């Protein structure tokens, strides 16, 4: 056995903890609740995952630390092609039925039967899942160690005795989940979801709090107001000028935003002018990321690093010397020099051009994201300042995504996907396995970066469980990011997180960041388990 | 009889047209619901989820547009609206039914109040031509009716909810309240509806005042009103039975239309006040390219308007014998 | 400011049928409305009195007036089409009138209404009909029935037959006349049809430009018209039966009441115009008997001075 | 009898007619789209008008007089029947060609002038469309026409606005517009119905003058039978969409053959005669013009009706020289009288 | 019965402008007539003054606005001061400058949207009424369908469907959803005109249908058309503000609606820059009120019965002779 935490989840003494209290979770869903809590397809499941359905392990996205959860242990074997879980004993479903390895196997087979439910793509890497007594054995098609995060950390286990009776699990609404988690949904209507403490929860004595309530918000505005009025004690959204609006000098109100994955400018690597490396470098140098952040979101999103490493979250993976060598800090004059040395000449209005082609491009943004609109406006101005004529086109979210996926763009502002190590983001933005020719849908690598060295690095990473090898590979990938600038990280996305200690304590804090803060799934369960009355 | 046949004919043609537009519009929109869902989650979903979503939503269906249309018409006839994509996997009917009562109540009550009040004020203003009521009310409310009502809503929230704490700023009822027919719930519902209702009434009443006043001034110069005076009738009776009743007739259809429109027109109000009605669902459905939901909502609103217009015809016929004869 | 009716004196005795004739727009309807205090803005009575059985209506409070209306005097309006409330049944409108002045059980009210309709030749079934369900002639009759609810002392009728063709007109006129003889109410009957009043009126008042120009018994006026305008009127009618002759009518056109001609208002069109006519207002005076006329031609002083020079 | 001879007898009766209508029929669709009801506004209308002739068209209100005029003026399309202008079917004439020669004066002088223009707008437009005179002389020409219809001083009347005009003046602008086209025939629809006596007379005299001086023909539609007698050579009596009597004016008035004509004439108030006794058919059902059944339409009100009246539609037949009537009874009487006369001979 | 002098107050004097003899002038005269009548109506004068004020602001925006509206050049969230009359946004833009520049687009939307919708209403309404029969039936049903379709949701669908939702998309959406109301009002009036004898008179005179519609029918409806235009303009202004507020316009446009969008997005009322929301809303309200007032005036002008009775009644006493 390897990589196993010694103890089951934190089990400190409950002696001096007061029970009771209500958590009011202010997580804007942009819709009224319809109580679709199906863990695989429910529109509202984000509010309950973790609290209700649980995963085999808890894989912390901030530091990659793995805690055993419904599985009390796991091991890799067969050249990392076989993964064996030992299923925890003494866990029961909240209807009192015991939880067994059969439920786990059932869950995975359910996903295989219904690709519509397999949102993590488990069966793109899995070959088979079978039960051996109290163990569950998974065979992989190919070595894919990083997929452990999805298979073990993001796949929610459902009860066989309930789900096997459901005719169509894809359209199963599941408004009262039978699950293993610490809370039980007691009421759900369009305005409120209320969860009560699960008395049968497998972590004895937990949770401490009695009730969790999540009102529905159509929009950030009312959600923020609710929070600011002190009606909710756990918030998960962007609040403009949070100190004025929310904290208001109240020492019980806090916020801190932990960076997770970058927001990038994707330069289309196969069209002019973003196929020119110098142009991409110049863009990266021309952007004053701090100011962009300041304008868009009051500086709450930290400026991103061209290496693609989210700091300080993954600082242990960061190659400082390499970054220093390439030095992508804000430097417009260097950007201009680069363009000049690449053969561009200043033309009308100070815009560079080469062979009669103007250095002008369109940036795709999203009209609905006001912060992006503001940020792109700033970026557009900064690019103009170095002689790049950028115009912003703000589209609807899905149109933008569709254009990005099909490669019909020059420069686009979009998210990246993350995971418990920088690998996940690197994989998302650089793996040519995810890309597609222009006109077809890419599921990652939207900029169409095709480089065999990169691909083999990513491949090698997927095969190893050795931390040292992983670090070495990530270092090399940072080199590629800095040297070739396939994508341009601009800001680091954060998990929005506000909390109120008037009644409840035990929140993760900047200094005690025991879990990825915010409202991530299933991470929010860990926070809940820590909360108790003052 | 002919009137009713003509009405039913109009009803059917309009319904068909609305249903068809309803079918075409969402299909003309670029993108697809799976991508909309991905975009909604702002990069938090695993890229692999797109495939799962497409399978679940049946995005890349091979059916021709005609097959889809026929299928669609068939479903509508059977009141099958399918599953809402943005609320997957909850059926559209459930989503709509959850929201509809709120909107209907708010819209219905406000429109009726606004119509009755406006009509009354208009009637009095015209009756006391040149009096204080006449010189003050119509212009003031006409100006107020030019206010953007959502903006008025924002200001009201700021003043009455945030600053003064007199009234709740949103929702249909208190947090944690239970929806039932208890007095507590009704009381909550009323308190929560006051601000949204107020903004709607205040901004819509001007139109009613003005049209009623103008109609009434017209009927007041009719010979039958002079005749009523000659007969020595009580002034109240002349104002209501002779001038008022004839003046209100042209407004009834407008009233019905308004009744139908507010169902969708409440949209901005509902957003501003986080009111749990169908208005917001529209926006959500459009943003998420949730065809089934969008179609159902369009259909419901169109039917609501048409039904209101039909009702107005009935009311007109009841109040105006001349129409009955035709 | 238009003086639509200016200095008019008329009187009508119980049981009398007074015809009021004049060109269109000369103020006939306005006069009737003024008598009933039914002028609506912007029209108003600026001076004068209306003595109804000794009571001056002009100074009566609206409330007192209400009690006098319909019981004392009633009106049949010019356009029956518009004078009935389109949304109430004929019966309801009659009941309205009754209720306003008298407490009466519903059944009695209905009986009375039915009686009245029958009296004017309408089937009482039409009590529950709406105005639009009646023909023009029936509507006129219904109005007359309504005016008779309390058998008032005075009924003012404003061109009650203008909407009808000759056949219908004649039968209605005959009914009015019969009713009047039976019930003995006074009638003021407005029309511009000379032929009609010739047949039905006891006395005639001829109006021109807001003034009465001649007021005498019907026979007197037809046999010996005095005012040149009356003469013109009589000479503008082609006859269906008499000999065919060329007619000339009255030259010129009616004056604009905003700026009425000075002196005698008819002088610009008058074939007998004299020097004095544009200069002095003519009073309505009686050259002989009860007949009144507003023309200098018959004034003694003028006559002696100028008669010789003016052809008559 | 003082016969003022307003104008010479219609000498042109022998010439060819200006306008001929044959079997003119107009049905209106009434009710909703699904109700198949048809209103027979005009049925089987025949007419010939000769140059210099005035034909009066009288009849009950709603009997289809205006509809006839509008059909002849091509404002309505006939349901069936044909109209010939000087022997040519009008379909084969250019629209403007026909307009130029056949003009109409509308019933209501208050709505026939466009309130946004000077009253002379119509006259000037007509001249612009049809006059061969140079543009600069159009105004002069218009003034001449206004003079002709008695709107003097014409200079002043050229610049007046409709709201400044009295009814009689408006009516004459209508005439002026019609005249400006230089027509052969004017269809005058109740041109005097709402005017008071003196204005009425002015217009009648004007028509007579025009007829005599310019050889114009008129179709004069009216309720006022006395005025028809005053100007018209021939008189047509309509009842419920059908012509029931047609003959020289004096003859029709002296010898009315159709019971409706008799009723009509008896009802005209006569200032020289006191009111007389009721006429038997005064009251009675209004005629049925919506989906009528065959038979005489006057039958339900007719005291002389015989069985055939309710079964067979009577046709117009000659009963006296130039005098035709559509009545079974009158025709039968005439036949008997003729037979008697013949047998006497 | 005794002596009866009666006075009738003259109706408001008929408009002084003479009716012209030619077609084009009839149009002009129609407008002149309305203009003249408007100037005598106090409410309308107030409306026109407000409108003029905004027009001047829009035309001279570059001169009036102290700063560039989009420059994020100042400290964010500043309260009103002499340098920034209305303070700054949370992006550090000058609110007053934004307000001034925003006048342009808002006015343009009202003008262009109103004109286009009116043109469509007139075209459909009048054609339908004039042609009658089947075309009338079809056009009326189309009008009614557009009237019955829920406008705001339809707008949202169309606005979302056209990427970015720029100015022209906004105008297009407003026109598509806004014309039917006017057409519905115009049709009966055109229909009642259609059977007026002066049109048949023109037809008998030999005029073409096009000539009759343009030069005989329409000049008679100038005041209704103006009223419809004002209604449509008001609708356009409010609808555009609503759409932009929802983020369905182009958020980079300078207009009052987008200001509301940004202000609401940044929770301006809560973070101490309330003027960011209050000012543009108040401006929309003022502009809307101006249009509503003018409309009110036009209403009174086109319907003489509605004219106010502001003049004191003069009572003339006629001396008894
Ligand atoms: N409301 C009003 N405003 C202005 N002038 C008016 C008003 N009512 C009537 N008049 C004027 O008063 C005069 C008399 O009108 P009135 O209706 O009494 O005429 P009439 O003799 O009844 O005419 P008719 O025979 O056509 O009914 C007319 O010149 C008319 O223009
Ligand atoms: N456009 C139309 N649509 C339907 N019915 C019509 C139309 N025009 C006329 N009618 C009907 O045709 C019949 C004849 O009407 P018309 O106007 O010709 O009568 P008229 O003899 O001129 O009557 P009046 O003397 O009242 O002018 C009437 O019953 C009328 O209702
Ligand atoms: Mg009158
Ligand atoms: Mg007619």
Q: Give residue-wise pLDDT tens across range C102-155.
A: 888 989 999 999 988 887 777 888 888 888 777 777 788 888 888 888 888 899
Does any CB of chain A come closer than 8 Å to the CB of residue B51? yes
**pTM > 0.90: yes or no:** no
Query: Which of D 142-201 lie inside 8 A of C, CB atoms?
Result: 166-169, 194-201
Indicate which atom in ligand 1 lies nearest the CA of residue C32. 18
State residue C81's pLDDT score.
66
Angle between helices E95-108 and E42-59 (to 10 degrees): 110
Is any ligand 2 atom within 6 A of the Cβ of residue D279?
no
Does any CB of chain D come closer than 8 Å to the CB of residue B63? no
Residue closest via CA to ligand 1's atom 4 equals E10
> Could you tell me what percent of chain E has a pLDDT over 70?
79
Ligand 2: centre distance to CA C192 (Å): 26
**Which H or E run contains B120?**
helix B92-127
pLDDT in tens, C52-81: 887 888 888 888 888 888 888 898 887 666
State residue A7's pLDDT score.
40
Residue E220 is assigned to a structural domain of this protein: yes
State residue A525's pLDDT score.
94
* Separation between Cα atoms, residue B224 and residue B230, nearest integer Å: 9
| Contact yes or no for C43 and E9 at CB 8 A | yes
Q: Which domains does chain B have, with CATH numbers?
A: 92-294+307-317 (1.10.3720.10)
CB A406 within 8 A of CB A439: yes
Domain of residue E196, residue span: 33-71+85-303
Is any ligand 2 atom within 6 A of the Cβ of residue D66?
yes
Q: Which domains does chain C have, with CATH numbers?
A: 17-255 (3.40.50.300)
Query: Which of B 137-156 lie inside 8 A of A, CB atoms?
Result: none
The H-assigned helical ranges of chain C are 28-35, 62-68, 80-83, 90-101, 106-119, 136-147, 166-183, 194-200, 218-223, 228-234, 300-306
For ligand 2, mutation pick of D41, D219, D223 (most atoms within 8 Å of CB): D41
Chain C, chain E: beta-carbon pairs less than 8 Å apart:
104
CB D239 within 8 A of CB D63: yes
A106-120: average pLDDT = 90
* Separation between Cα atoms, residue C33 and residue C29, nearest integer Å: 6
For residue E317, what pLDDT band results from cuts at 50, 70 and 90?
very low
Buried b (16+ CB within 10 A) or exposed e, B205-237: bbbbbbbbbbbbbbbbebbbbbbbbbbbbeeee
For residue E306, what pLDDT band results from cuts at 50, 70 and 90?
low
Count the domains in chain E.
1
Contacts of C36 in chain B (CB under 8 A): 230
Q: What is the mean pLDDT of chain E?
A: 77
Q: Which of A321, A317, A322 is nearest to A470 (CA)?
A: A317
List ligand 1's pocket residues with C-beta within 6 A: C 2, 4, 22, 24-30, 42-43, 78, 192, 257; E 8, 11
What are the φ and ψ backbone dihedral angles of C211, each rounded to 5 degrees? -125, 155
Of D95, D112, D116, which has the smallest distance from its Cβ to E30's Cβ?
Answer: D116
Residue E16 is assigned to a structural domain of this protein: no
Q: Which residue of B has its CA nearest to C148?
A: B231
Q: Is the pLDDT of residue E313 over 70?
A: no
The CB density around residue D297, as the number of other CB atoms within 10 Å, is: 26
Q: Which residue of B has its CA nearest to A111?
A: B52
Residue E230 is assigned to a structural domain of this protein: yes
Ligand 1: centre distance to CA C235 (Å): 25
| Contact yes or no for B28 and E161 at CB 8 A | yes
| Contact yes or no for E270 and A228 at CB 8 A | yes
Q: Which residue of D has its CA nearest to B6?
A: D32
Ligand whose nearest atom lies closest to the CA of D26? 2
State residue A431's pLDDT score.
92
Is any ligand 2 atom within 6 A of the Cβ of residue D61?
yes
For residue A4, what pLDDT band results from cuts at 50, 70 and 90?
very low
Indicate which atom in ligand 2 lies nearest the CA of residue D29. 4
The CB density around residue C81, as the number of other CB atoms within 10 Å, is: 17
For residue E108, what pLDDT band results from cuts at 50, 70 and 90?
very high
Q: Is the pLDDT of residue D275 over 60?
A: no
* Separation between Cα atoms, residue A39 and residue C312, nearest integer Å: 114
- Using H for helix, E for strand and C for coil, what is the string for chain E? CCCEEEEECCCCCCCCCCCCCCHHHHHHHHHHHHHHHHHCCHHHHHHHHHHHHHHHHHHCHHHHCCCCCCCCCCCCCCCCCCCCCCCECCCCCEHHHHHHHHHHHHHHHHHHHHHHHHHHHHHHHHHHHHHCHHHHHHHHHHHHHHHHCCHHHHHHHHHHHCHHHCHHHHHHHHHHHHHHHHHHHHHHHHHHHHCCHHHHHHHHHCCCHHHHHHHHHHHHHHHHHHHHHHHHHHHHHHHHHHHHHCCCCCCCCCCHHHHHHHHHHCCCCCCCCCHHHHHHHHHHHHHHHHHHHHHHHHHHHHCHHHCCCCCCCCCCCCCCC
State residue A15's pLDDT score.
60
Residue E5 is assigned to a structural domain of this protein: no
Pick the residue with more confidence: B179 or D343? Answer: D343
Q: Which of E42, E157, E234, E262 to mutate to test the interface with B (most CBs of B within 10 A)?
A: E157
Ligand whose nearest atom lies closest to the CA of C210? 1
> Could you tell me what percent of chain A has a pLDDT over 70?
97
Which of A318-332, A484-498, B66-80, D8-22 is the least confident region?
D8-22
Does any CB of chain D come closer than 8 Å to the CB of residue B9? yes
Q: Which of C166, E197, E213 is nearest to D69 (CA)?
A: E197
Q: Which residue of A has its CA nearest to B283?
A: A31
State residue E10's pLDDT score.
34
Q: Which residue of B has its CA nearest to D37?
A: B2
Residue A92 is given by DSSP the state B
Contacts of E316 in chain C (CB under 8 A): 1, 3, 46
Whether the CA torsion B95, B98, B102, B105 is positive or negative: it is positive
> Cα torsion for C294, C296, C299, C304, to the nearest 10°?
-170
> Could you tell me what percent of chain D has a pLDDT over 90?
21
Contacts of C36 in chain E (CB under 8 A): none
State residue E320's pLDDT score.
32
| Contact yes or no for B214 and E299 at CB 8 A | yes
| Contact yes or no for E252 and A392 at CB 8 A | yes
Q: Which chains have at least 3 CB atom pairs separated by less than 8 Å from chain A?
A: B, E
* Separation between Cα atoms, residue D150 and residue D138, nearest integer Å: 18
Q: Which residue of E has its CA nearest to A248?
A: E271
Is any ligand 2 atom within 6 A of the Cβ of residue D76?
no
Of E19, E200, E219, which has the smallest distance from its Cβ to D75's Cβ?
Answer: E200
Q: Which of E22, E27, E33, E44 is nearest to E297 (CA)?
A: E44
State residue B211's pLDDT score.
85
Does any CB of chain D come closer than 8 Å to the CB of residue C232? yes
State residue E18's pLDDT score.
43
Which of helix, strand or coil describes residue A143?
A: coil
Does any CB of chain E come closer than 8 Å to the CB of residue B100? no
Provide the phi-psi class of D86: left if phi over 0, else alpha when psi is between -120 and 50, else beta.
left
Contacts of E1 in chain C (CB under 8 A): 9-12, 35, 50-52
| Contact yes or no for C222 and D199 at CB 8 A | no
Contacts of D252 in chain C (CB under 8 A): none
Q: What is the mean pLDDT of chain D?
A: 81
State residue C31's pLDDT score.
85
Q: Is the pLDDT of residue C306 over 70?
A: no
Q: Which of C249, C254, C255 to mutate to test the interface with D (most CBs of D within 10 A)?
A: C249
- Do A and D share at least 3 CB pairs under 8 Å? no
Is any ligand 2 atom within 6 A of the Cβ of residue D126?
no
Does any CB of chain E come closer than 8 Å to the CB of residue B116? no
Residue E23 is assigned to a structural domain of this protein: no
Residue E225 is part of a domain; what is its CATH number? 1.10.3720.10
Distance from CA of B156 to the nearest CA of A (A): 14
Q: What is the mean pLDDT of chain A?
A: 90
């Amino acid at each position: 056995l390897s990589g196993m935490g010694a103890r089951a989840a934190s089990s400190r003494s409950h002696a001096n903890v007061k029970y009771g209290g209500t958590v009011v979770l202010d997580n804007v869903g942009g819709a009224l609740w319809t109580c679709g809590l199906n863990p695989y397809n429910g529109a509202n499941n984000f509010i309950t995952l973790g609290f209700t359905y649980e995963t085999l392990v808890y894989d912390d996205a901030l530091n990659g630390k793995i805690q055993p959860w419904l599985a009390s242990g796991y091991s890799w074997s067969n050249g990392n092609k076989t993964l064996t879980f030992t299923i925890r004993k003494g866990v029961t479903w909240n209807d009192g039925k015991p939880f067994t390895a059969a439920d786990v196997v059932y869950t995975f087979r359910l996903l295989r039967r219904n690709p519509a439910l397999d949102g993590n793509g488990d069966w793109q890497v899995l070959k088979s899942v079978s039960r051996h007594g109290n163990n569950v054995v998974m065979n992989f098609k190919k070595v894919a160690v990083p997929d452990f995060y999805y298979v073990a950390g993001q796949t929610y286990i459902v009860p066989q005795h309930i789900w096997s009776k459901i005719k169509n699990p894809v359209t199963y609404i599941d408004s009262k989940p039978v699950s293993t988690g610490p809370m039980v949904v007691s009421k759900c209507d369009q305005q409120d979801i209320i969860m009560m403490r699960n008395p049968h929860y497998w972590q004895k004595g937990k949770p401490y709090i009695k009730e969790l309530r999540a009102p529905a918000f159509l929009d950030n505005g009312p959600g923020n107001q609710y929070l600011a009025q002190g009606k909710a004690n756990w918030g998960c959204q962007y609040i403009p000028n949070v100190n004025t609006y929310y904290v208001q000098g109240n020492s019980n109100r806090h916020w801190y935003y932990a960076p997770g994955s970058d927001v990038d400018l994707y330069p289309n690597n196969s069209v002019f002018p973003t196929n020119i490396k110098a142009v991409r470098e110049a863009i990266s140098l021309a952007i004053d990321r701090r100011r962009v952040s300041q304008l868009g979101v009051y500086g709450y999103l930290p400026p991103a690093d061209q290496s693609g490493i989210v700091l300080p979250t993954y600082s242990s993976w960061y190659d400082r010397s390499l970054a220093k060598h390439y030095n992508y800090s804000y430097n417009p004059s260097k950007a201009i020099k680069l363009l000049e040395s690449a053969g561009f000449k200043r033309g009308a209005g100070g815009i560079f051009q080469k062979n009669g082609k103007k250095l002008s491009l369109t940036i795709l943004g999203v009209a609905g994201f006001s912060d992006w609109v503001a940020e792109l406006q700033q970026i557009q101005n900064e690019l103009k300042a170095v002689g790049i004529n950028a115009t912003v086109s703000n589209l609807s979210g899905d149109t933008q995504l569709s254009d990005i996926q099909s490669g019909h763009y020059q420069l686009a502002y979009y998210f990246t996907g993350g995971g418990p190590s920088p690998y996940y983001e690197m994989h998302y933005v650089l793996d040519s396995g995810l890309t597609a020719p222009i006109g077809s849908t890419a599921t990652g690598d939207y900029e169409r970066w095709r480089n065999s060295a990169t691909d083999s690095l990513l491949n090698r990473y997927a095969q190893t469980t050795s931390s040292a090898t992983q670090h070495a590979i990530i270092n090399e990938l940072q080199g590629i990011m800095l040297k070739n600038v396939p994508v341009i990280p601009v800001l680091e996305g954060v998990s929005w997180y506000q909390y109120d200690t008037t009644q409840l304590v035990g929140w993760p804090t900047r200094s005690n960041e025991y879990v990825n803060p915010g409202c991530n799934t299933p991470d929010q369960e860990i926070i809940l388990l820590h909360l108790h009355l003052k | 009889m002919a009137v009713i046949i003509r009405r039913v004919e109009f009803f059917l043609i309009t319904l068909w047209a609305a249903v068809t537009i309803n079918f075409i519009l969402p299909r003309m929109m670029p993108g697809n619901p799976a991508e909309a869902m991905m975009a909604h989650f702002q990069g938090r979903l695993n890229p692999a989820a797109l495939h799962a979503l497409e399978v679940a939503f049946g995005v890349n269906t091979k059916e021709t547009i005609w097959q889809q249309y026929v299928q669609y018409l068939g479903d509508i006839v059977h009141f099958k609206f399918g599953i809402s994509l943005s609320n997957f996997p909850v059926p559209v009917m459930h989503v709509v039914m959850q929201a509809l009562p709120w909107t209907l109540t708010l819209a219905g009550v406000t429109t009726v109040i606004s119509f009755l009040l406006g009509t009354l004020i208009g009637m009095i203003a015209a009756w006391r031509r040149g009096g204080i009521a006449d010189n003050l009310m119509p212009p003031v409310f006409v100006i107020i009716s030019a206010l953007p009502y959502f903006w008025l809503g924002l200001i009201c929230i700021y003043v009455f909810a945030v600053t003064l704490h007199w009234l709740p700023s949103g929702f249909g009822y208190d947090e944690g309240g239970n929806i039932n027919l208890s007095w507590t719930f009704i009381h909550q519902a009323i308190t929560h509806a006051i601000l949204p209702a107020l903004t709607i009434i205040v901004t819509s009443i001007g139109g009613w005042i003005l049209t009623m006043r103008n109609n009434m001034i017209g009927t007041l110069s009719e010979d039958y009103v002079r005749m009523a005076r000659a007969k020595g009738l009580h002034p109240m009776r002349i104002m209501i039975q002779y001038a008022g009743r004839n003046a209100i007739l042209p407004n009834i259809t407008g009233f019905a239309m308004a009744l139908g429109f507010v169902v969708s027109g409440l949209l901005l109000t509902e957003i501003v006040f986080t009111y749990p009605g169908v208005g917001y669902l529209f926006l959500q459905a459009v943003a998420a390219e949730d065809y089934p939901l969008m179609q159902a909502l369009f259909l419901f609103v169109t039917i609501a308007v048409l039904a209101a217009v039909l009702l107005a015809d009935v009311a007109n016929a009841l109040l105006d014998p001349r129409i009955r004869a035709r | 400011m238009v003086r639509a009716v200016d200095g008019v004196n008329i009187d009508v005795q119980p049981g009398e049928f007074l015809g009021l004739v004049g060109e269109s727009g000369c103020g006939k309807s306005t006069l009737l409305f003024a008598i009933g205090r039914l002028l609506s803005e912007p029209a108003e009575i600026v001076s004068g009195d209306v003595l109804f059985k000794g009571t001056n209506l002009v100074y009566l409070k609206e409330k007192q007036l209400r009690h006098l209306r319909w019981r004392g005097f009633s009106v049949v309006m010019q356009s029956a089409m518009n004078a009935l409330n389109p949304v109430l049944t004929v019966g309801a409108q009659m009941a309205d009138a009754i209720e306003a002045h008298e407490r009466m059980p519903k059944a009695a009210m209905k009986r009375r209404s039915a009686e009245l309709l029958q009296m004017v030749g309408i089937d009482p079934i039409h009590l529950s009909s709406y105005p639009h369900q009646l023909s023009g002639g029936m509507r006129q009759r219904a109005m007359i029935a309504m005016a008779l609810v309390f058998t008032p002392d005075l009924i003012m009728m404003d061109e009650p037959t203008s909407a009808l063709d000759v056949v219908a007109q004649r039968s209605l006129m005959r009914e009015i006349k019969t009713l009047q003889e039976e019930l003995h109410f006074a009638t003021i009957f407005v029309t511009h049809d000379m032929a009609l009043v010739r047949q039905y009126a006891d006395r005639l008042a001829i109006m021109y430009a807001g003034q009465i120009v001649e007021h005498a018994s019907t026979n007197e006026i037809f046999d010996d018209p005095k005012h040149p305008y009356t003469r013109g009127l009589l000479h503008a009618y082609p006859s269906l039966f008499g000999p065919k002759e060329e007619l000339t009518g009255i030259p010129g056109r009616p004056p604009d009441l905003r700026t009425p001609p000075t002196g005698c208002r008819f002088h610009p069109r008058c074939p007998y115009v004299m020097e004095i006519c544009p200069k002095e207002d003519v009073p309505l005076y009686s050259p002989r008997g009860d007949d009144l006329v507003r023309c200098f031609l018959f004034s003694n002083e003028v006559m002696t001075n100028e008669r010789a020079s003016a052809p008559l | 009898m003082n016969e003022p001879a307003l104008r010479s007898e219609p000498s042109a009766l022998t010439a060819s007619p200006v306008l001929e209508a044959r079997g003119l029929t107009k049905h209106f669709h009434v009710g909703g789209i699904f109700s198949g009801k048809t209103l027979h506004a005009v049925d089987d209308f025949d007419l010939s008008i000769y140059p210099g002739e005035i034909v009066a068209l009288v009849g009950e209100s709603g009997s289809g007089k205006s509809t006839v005029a509008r059909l002849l003026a091509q404002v309505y399309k006939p349901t069936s029947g044909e109209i010939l202008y000087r022997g040519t079917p009008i379909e084969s004439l250019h629209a403007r060609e026909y307009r130029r020669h056949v003009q109409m004066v509308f019933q209501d002088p208050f709505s026939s002038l466009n309130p946004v223009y000077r009253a002379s707008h119509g006259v000037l437009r007509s001249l612009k469309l049809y006059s061969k005179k140079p543009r600069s002389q159009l105004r002069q020409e218009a003034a001449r026409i206004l003079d002709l219809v008695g709107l003097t001083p014409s200079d002043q009347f050229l610049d007046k606005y409709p709201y400044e005009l009295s009814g009689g003046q408006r009516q004459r602008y209508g005439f002026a517009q019609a005249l400006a086209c230089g027509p052969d025939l004017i269809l005058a629809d109740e041109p005097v119905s709402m005017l008071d006596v003196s204005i009425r007379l002015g217009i009648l005299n004007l028509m007579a003058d025009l007829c005599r001086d310019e050889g114009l023909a008129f179709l004069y539609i009216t309720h006022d039978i006395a005025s028809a007698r005053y100007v018209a050579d021939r008189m047509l009596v309509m009842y419920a969409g059908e012509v029931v009597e047609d003959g020289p004016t004096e003859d029709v008035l002296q010898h009315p053959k159709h019971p409706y004509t008799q009723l009509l004439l008896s009802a005209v108030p006569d200032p020289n005669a006191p009111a007389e006794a009721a006429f038997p058919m005064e009251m009675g059902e209004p005629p049925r013009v919506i989906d009528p059944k065959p038979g005489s339409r006057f039958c339900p009100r007719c005291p002389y009706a015989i069985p055939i009246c309710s079964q067979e539609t009577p046709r117009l037949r000659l009963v006296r020289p130039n005098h035709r009537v559509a009545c079974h009874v009158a025709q039968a009487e005439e036949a008997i009288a003729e037979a008697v006369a013949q047998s006497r001979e | 019965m005794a002596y009866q002098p009666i006075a009738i107050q003259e109706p408001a004097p008929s408009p002084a402008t003479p009716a012209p003899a030619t077609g084009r002038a009839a149009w002009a005269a129609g407008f002149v007539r309305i203009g003249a009548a408007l100037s005598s109506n106090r409410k309308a004068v107030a409306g026109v003054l407000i409108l003029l004020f905004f027009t001047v602001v829009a035309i001279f925006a570059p001169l009036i606005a102290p700063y560039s509206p989009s420059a994020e050049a100042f400290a964010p969230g500043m309260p009103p001061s002499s340098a920034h009359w209305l303070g700054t946004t949370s992006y550090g833009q000058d609110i007053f400058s934004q307000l001034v520049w925003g006048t342009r687009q808002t006015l343009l939307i009202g003008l262009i949207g109103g004109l286009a919708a009116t043109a469509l209403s007139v075209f459909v309404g009048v054609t339908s009424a004039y042609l009658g029969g089947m075309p009338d039936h079809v056009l009326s049903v189309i009008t009614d369908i557009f009237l019955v379709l829920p406008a705001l949701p339809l707008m949202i669908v169309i606005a979302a469907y056209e990427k970015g939702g720029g100015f022209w998309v906004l105008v297009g959406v407003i026109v598509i959803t806004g014309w039917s109301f006017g057409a519905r009002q115009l049709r009966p009036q055109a229909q009642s005109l259609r059977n007026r004898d002066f049109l048949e008179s023109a037809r008998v005179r030999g005029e073409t249908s096009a000539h009759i519609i343009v030069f005989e029918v329409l000049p008679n409806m100038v005041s209704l058309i103006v009223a419809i235009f004002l209604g449509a303009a008001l609708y356009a202004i409010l609808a555009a503000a609503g759409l932009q507020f929802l983020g369905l316009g182009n958020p980079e446009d300078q207009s009052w609606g987008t200001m509301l969008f940004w202000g609401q997005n940044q929770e301006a009322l809560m973070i101490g820059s309330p003027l960011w929301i209050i000012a543009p809303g108040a401006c929309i309200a003022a502009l809307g009120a101006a249009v509503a007032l003018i409309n009110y005036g036009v209403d009174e002008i086109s319907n003489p019965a509605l004219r106010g009775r502001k003049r004191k009644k003069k009572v003339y006493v006629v001396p008894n002779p």
